[in-house]
Amino acid sequence: MQASRRKLLTLAGLGVLGGAVGYAYIKGVRYPILALTPGVSPTATQQEGIEVYANGAVYQGTTDDGSIKFRAYVPEPSLDIRVSSGRRWRLLLENIHPDATLAIDTPPGLSEERNNLTRIVEAESKTDGSWQLNWRFPKQDAYRFTVIGDTGGGTELDWVLTRSVELGADFIVHLGDLNYDKGDLHRAAEAFNKASIPSFVAIGNHDFREGWQPLYEHFTQLIGPRNSSFRLGGIQFLNLDTATDFWPPDRGARLRLLQQFPIGEPDPAVQDFVVFTHRPLNTINGPGEADWLRKQLLNRGVNSLLAGHNHIKSELDDGGLHTFISGQGLAHADLIVGRPIAEILVADVMPGQRVHFHWAPLNMQLEAHCNSRNWGVLEVLDKPEPLARLQAVCKK
């Protein structure tokens, strides 16, 4: 009897395990942190008397004054708002370029205010109604953006945002790894919102987990989804998640995003692709993952890939995919050699042309390194003179 029960429990356990393996194979598994691929970011909310559906923005919750808050992760988001009669409502939409405009005239009874990168929209509905609000980026066929990753969420990120504005960027593409210290993700979100240009961000391995503690839900809530796309002018942007290895590679949200761009059916309106991610493909160890991704991109006409992860500035040909590695967001090289040498990637878009990339000095001020993490780096590298200079500046 006991043997039969053990056999039954064993069979049941194997059945559950088999089901889990089958589900994992369909959905995909992230490792070394073993977890089924995370769900999508929340982009809608339904509350008493109001429903808001966002295209290109993540829902972040309700503020203390009752405002419904979203953060855009594309330059031209839209909100579909449906309201019951007599309902007064107020929305906050962050990460909108200060000069972006509503694509349609403001409907009667609806007001829009601008507070740096935040739009404040409010109205009181006299009857049941709906609004479709679409924001248009101020520059379409000609614009500039900067590209860099691995900044953490502290003063180095603040400097990168400042430097991007100095370089004339209309927005920044961040390649991930905001979370090096506890609280960095929240600090990064605040820094992005205080900046004078919007940011569009890939998830890094440090943003995906902290040790064995998963962080991806915090990232998607504060910053945006792990995979996304947008088109601005004739350039198609793809934000791909390579934060950790993924098995099987041809599963999950990343596959669904790529399937939106069929192989062999080029869109004549697309003059170039900008694919940005955290890890260069040659650093991905998942079985067949790098080869699969490279093939998927090349078959769709992608010529270049933007990545960070390695804390260097570099370019390489990766099986026909020109890879720019812009990972000097911490500018540790400046500290080590005692002078500014770190660089940031700059991209210029002109009508009817491929994106033109070039490097520019990051020129990070020494004051931007005033955190104990950098002191530890210099101590480990046995650099007493740079350490002394940094400590003297930071004490002031």
Contact 204, 308 (CB under 8 A): yes
3-class secondary-structure state, position 271: coil
Instruction: Return the sign of the alpha-carbon dihedral for residues 12, 22, 213, 185.
Output: negative
Reported as half-sphere exposure (CB side, CA atoms, 13 A), residue 10 has a value of 6
3-class secondary-structure state, position 124: strand
The reported pLDDT for the residue numbered 379 is 85
3-class secondary-structure state, position 87: coil
The reported pLDDT for the residue numbered 212 is 74
Contact 72, 192 (CB under 8 A): no
Alpha carbon distance 130, 53 (integer Å):
11
Distances (CA, A) of 241 to 215, 238, 252, 257, 284: 14, 10, 11, 11, 12
Write the burial class of residue 55 (CB in 10 Å: 0-12 exposed, 13-18 middle, 19+ buried). middle
Distances (CA, A) of 269 to 231, 266, 351, 373: 10, 9, 11, 46
Among the listed residues 236, 207, 229, the one whose alpha carbon sits nearest the alpha carbon of residue 38: 207
The reported pLDDT for the residue numbered 21 is 32
Domains of the chain and any CATH numbers: 44-136 (2.60.40), 143-364 (3.60.21.10)
Partnered with residue 305 across adjacent β-strands are 275, 323
- The sheet that has 118-124: what strands, in order across it? 57-62, 68-72, 88-94, 118-124, 110-115
The reported pLDDT for the residue numbered 108 is 67
Q: Which residue has the tokens 């950790």?
A: 244
**Apex 145 CA angle, 187 and 274, nearest 5:** 105
- Average pLDDT of each block of 10 consecutive residues along the chain (396 residues)? 48 36 35 52 86 95 93 96 85 97 73 94 81 93 97 96 98 96 94 97 91 85 95 96 89 91 86 97 92 96 96 95 97 88 97 96 93 81 86 84
The reported pLDDT for the residue numbered 19 is 34
The reported pLDDT for the residue numbered 25 is 33
